[in-house]
Structure 1
């Protein structure tokens, strides 16, 4: 049975494993994703931000601490939002990213950290984000790299089934975690088609020093685990 992203983080078995992973710093967030994301974010002072798949609010809080005017932080998980860090300029909304919408021109920056590989209709979401953003606004997101999502049967460092876009089920704390594979070409073409210029396309990898400190990261030098994109809404 497939477990959709909108339901996943309220599954008690999954949530227990995920929170233990984050508490122990065993995921990719602390060593790779967070530093890479922070390095490409624009200056946020005074910006209106939407954070898609905000989880417990770590990125939203960082943005407000850096001076964002306000952050609309969206997540489908009741449990994640119940535990979210509070800030007077962070406004949490429980909603499925498949249908969440905002008024046109209401955002200067849209961010998403490791959430959009759970979204089936990526093109539809990008079209909505393009409407929310002011001209010159930024869309910055990280996802699992397409070489990781590609195989129908998950296998580290094996790239297979790459051309066959669509759903993938993975065992991650629970069986049947549902993600969506799309090629790098599809991702970038969708962004261009909906009025975005590409500013950064990055594949964060651990350094040799990081691997020496954390040998579990060695596999991620054999193939990129993450894709990070910074796109700019055309005028």
Structure 2
């Protein structure tokens, strides 16, 4: 399950992983549906009309189709997983959406070619975050925006479930350790050996600034009252932030 030191991870093409992930998304029972996606919408420009968009880690192509429905001029939707892209193409009938199989690290992108670059819950799989940010900064047109979400560093620090429980299995508190020690973490999610790269909030933000981008928004979303009303189990997500969302702009 572990890729070589220079190979991008492609866990989504593992049959067992893909089956588990697809079932989660189809049921819309994961935290991305009730927490991450509503918050991600707040990172975006007020209007997507006429924008040239790059979607890194596009998955099933949901954002690409939504963006086109809101008037985006074109979307280049990139994913390393052949299984994810096959599902995306099956769900899409739009010549202005182009799907490309490539890793985030190696996709060919032209300088100033995009008005908006998005990445939803994918960059924590990337080992060389600074190199990716530099490429994205160059790919943005002046005034363009880079919006992304990742698992919160409080969640990636140890990897896996970090709830400390009592003898009856009740959650006592969320454990955080090795926070300043950046690098890969192996965890279990549908299958063993899933690798996510831990980095601090300081690194996520500071790297954007070092690449010449201007921080526009930072969110650590929790469940809104409407979600809590229908799913009281989400109350536990107020005890630690599951996601970190950031938007940064290239100056005009």
TM-score normalised by structure 2 residue count? 0.89
- The CA deviation string for residues 171-200 of structure 1, in whole angstroms up to 9 with x for no partner, is 000001000000000110000000110110
CA drift at 1:220: 1.1
Match of residue 133 from structure 1: 140
Structure 1 unaligned runs (5+)? Answer: none
TM-score normalised by structure 1 residue count? 0.95
Match of residue 164 from structure 1: 181
The number of aligned residues is 235
Matches within 5 A, 1:219-234: 219-234=236-251
The answer to whether the Cα contact below 8 Å between 1:5 and 1:178 also exists between their aligned partners in 2 is no
Cα distance in 2 for partners of 1:67, 1:180 equals: 34
The answer to whether the Cα contact below 8 Å between 1:49 and 1:110 also exists between their aligned partners in 2 is yes
CA drift at 1:163: 0.6
Match of residue 74 from structure 1: 78
CA drift at 1:209: 4.2
- The CA deviation string for residues 18-65 of structure 1, in whole angstroms up to 9 with x for no partner, is 111111121112211111111221011001000000001001111111
- Whether 2:103 is the aligned partner of 1:96: answer yes
The answer to whether the Cα contact below 8 Å between 1:133 and 1:233 also exists between their aligned partners in 2 is yes
SS of 1:167's equivalent? strand
SS of 2:215's equivalent? strand
Cα distance in 2 for partners of 1:29, 1:161 equals: 25
Cα distance in 2 for partners of 1:146, 1:98 equals: 21
Match of residue 149 from structure 2: 142
Q: What do you get for the CA RMSD once the two structures are aligned?
A: 1.5
The answer to whether the Cα contact below 8 Å between 1:5 and 1:179 also exists between their aligned partners in 2 is no
- Whether 2:5 is the aligned partner of 1:2: answer no
Worse-superposed segment, 33-42 or 202-211: 202-211
Q: Decide which of 40, 43, 67 is 2:43's aligned counterpart.
A: 40
Matches within 5 A, 1:72-221: 72-84=76-88, 85-86=91-92, 87-152=94-159, 154-156=161-163, 157-221=174-238
Worse-superposed segment, 169-178 or 150-159: 150-159
Cα distance in 1 for partners of 2:57, 2:238 equals: 27
Question: Quick one: structure 1 residues 78 and 137, their matched pair in 2 at CA, closer, same or farther if it must change by over 3 Å?
Answer: same
Match of residue 169 from structure 2: none
Q: Higher Cα Rg: structure 1 or 2?
A: 2
